[in-house]
Structure 1
Amino acid sequence: MFHKILIANRGEIAVRIIRACKELGIRSVAVYSEADKNAMHARLADESICIGPAPAGQSYLNIAAIMAAAELTDAEAIHPGYGFLAENASFAEIVGESGLTWIGPSPESMRIMGDKVSAKQKMQTAGVPLVPGSDGAVDNIEDARRIAKEAGFPVIIKASAGGGGRGMKVVHSEASLPNAFSMCQSEAGAAFGNNTVFIEKYLEEPRHIEVQVLGDKHGNIVHLFERECSMQRHNQKVLEEAPSAFVDEETRAAICAAGVAAAKAVDYVGAGTIEFLMNPDKSFYFIEMNTRIQVEHPVTEWITGVDLIEWQIRVAAGEQLAFSQNDIKMKGHAIECRINAEHPFKFTPSPGTVELFHAPGGRSVRVDSFLYTGYSIPPYYDSMVAKIITHARDRKKCIRRMQRAIDELVILGVTTNQELHQRLLANPGFQNAEFNIHFLERWLTQMHL
Structure 2
Amino acid sequence: MSALKSATQAPATTATHRSPPLSKRVRTARRLLLLAVGWLATRALMLWLLTHDQYALLGRGGVAREVWKLYFHWYGGLAHGRFPTGDHLWQYPPGAGVVLLAPGLLPHLTYFQAFVVLTLLTDALIALALALAGTRPGRSLGGAALWTAGLPLLLHIPLVRYDVQVTAFAVISLLTLSRSARACGAWAALGALVKVWPALALIGTPRGRTTREAWTAAVVTAATLLALLAALFRNPFDFLRQQGGRGVQIESLGGTVLMFAHRTGWSGDTRYQYGAVEFVGPYVQTVAACSLALTAAAFGLLLLWRVRARHWTPATPYDAALAAVLLFTVTSRVISPQYMVWLVGLAAVCLTSRHTTQRTVALLVLAATAVSAVEYPALYGYVIDSTWTGCLLMLVRNGLLASAAIMSFVRLWRSGCSMPEGPEPDEPTRRTDWIPAFFRTGK
TM-score range, shorter chain: under 0.3
The structure with more radius of gyration: 2
- Which has more helix, going by share of residues? 2
How does the TM-score come out when normalised to structure 2?
0.28
